Amino acid sequence: MTLRIIKANEPIQVTRLNLCIYAPPGVGKTSLGFTAEDPLDLDFDNGAYRACNRKDSVACSRWSDVSDMDAEDLAPYQTIIVDTAGRALDKLSADIIADNVKNGKKDGSLSLQGFGVLKSRFAAWLKVVNGFGKDVVLICHMDEQRNGDDVIERLDAQGSSKNEIYKSVDAMGRVFVRQGKDKKTQRFLDFSPREGAFGKNPGQLEELEIPHPDKNPRFLAEVIAQIKAKLNAMSADQVAEQSRLDEWKTAIDDLASLDDFNLLIGNVRNAPDAAKMYFHSKATDKGFTFNKKAMQYEVKPEKAYA
């Protein structure tokens, strides 16, 4: 097997995204999910019927309702919504314990061994869905915990299973409610991590005011597209920067004499920092030393021995 190495000057195209959205109950998480591109809601929370803009959904009373989904089942959809991820992991946990009682405790929770199985099975299932080229939106309830007077927001998911949600997503945002510019209560989506709140913001998005689905039925689709565009732009910028650096390295490798290095000094000042370091390293390797007062290289003087 030949190892496929992605070179530094090759772009990494982001075509699909895993996204987590969390919020307290009743702020329209499912309605927000339905504004994604061609969504299918995996309704583990039995709440899809409350969405004002309901789209296609699957009533999930057990993990087996989704475990055998294939590419043909999901072909009409671009975004798979797990609603909610906490309840989905509960269903998966029950399935794991049913398979092997050693995976559970007497109170019905997972044993340490069971949590290991949960991590591997959830990751494997998510990988399969990603393999179909789908965006995945994990919707989560928010659990508030107190540390003295401070309120700490956490995902509502049992035990260490919430860590699997954190690790599996590319972006994470929270929905919150506050008074908008028009003095009316409005919902906002914030991807930036805050004190006491989680977030992943690879798209460097500002707080976004969430419109009513009637005003923008593609709001989340546009947000996901913005994040992908930002990640792909970053990749393109990195490729351009690496190409520029490679050009400088080629030019520097052609330098042979002291005069060659000194003639290029003025141009190197506008080069990337990595090229400046490479230039100085090459000059030093050839036995030249930089004279800061004269602002040029000179031959390193021989050491005098008594």
Domain match, 219 and 267 both: no
In 3D space, the residue among 24, 27, 16 whose CA is nearest the CA of residue 156 turns out to be 24
Q: Which domain holds residue 279?
A: 255-299
Residue 148 lies in a domain: yes
Domain match, 133 and 39 both: yes
Residue 13 lies in a domain: no
Structure tokens at 73: 């089942």
Residue 92 lies in a domain: yes
Domain match, 182 and 225 both: yes
Predicted confidence at residue 63, as pLDDT, reads 95
The reported pTM is: 0.76
Residue 63 lies in a domain: yes
Residue 247 lies in a domain: no
Residue 113 lies in a domain: yes
Predicted confidence at residue 149, as pLDDT, reads 63
Predicted confidence at residue 139, as pLDDT, reads 95
Tens place of pLDDT per residue across the chain (306 aa): 677 777 766 667 788 999 999 998 888 999 999 999 999 999 999 989 999 999 999 999 999 999 989 999 999 999 999 998 999 999 999 999 999 999 999 888 889 899 889 988 998 999 999 999 999 999 998 876 666 666 667 777 766 667 778 888 999 999 998 876 677 888 999 998 877 778 889 888 999 999 999 999 999 999 999 999 988 887 777 777 877 887 888 889 888 899 999 999 988 988 888 889 999 999 999 999 999 988 999 987 665 444
Instruction: Provide DSSP, the chain.
Output: -------TTS-------EEEEEE-TTS-HHHHHTTSSSEEEEESSS-GGG-TT---EEE-SSTHHHHT--HHHHTT-SEEEEETHHHHHHHHHHHHHHH-GGGB-TTS-B-HHHHHHHHHHHHHHHHHHHHTT-EEEEEEEEEEEEETTEEEEEE--STTHHHHHHHH-SEEEEEEEEE-TTSSEEEEEE-S-BTTB--B-TT-PPPEEPPPTTT-TTHHHHHHHHHHHHHHHHHHHHHHHHHHHHHHHHHHHT--SHHHHHHHHHHHTTS-HHHHHHHHHHHHHTTEEEETTTTEEEEPPPPP--
Distance CA 271, CA 248 (A): 8
Domain match, 198 and 263 both: no
Domain match, 220 and 295 both: no
Residue 134 lies in a domain: yes
Residue 11 lies in a domain: no
User: How many structural domains are present in the chain?
Assistant: 2
Domain match, 97 and 163 both: yes
Distance CA 142, CA 157 (A): 9
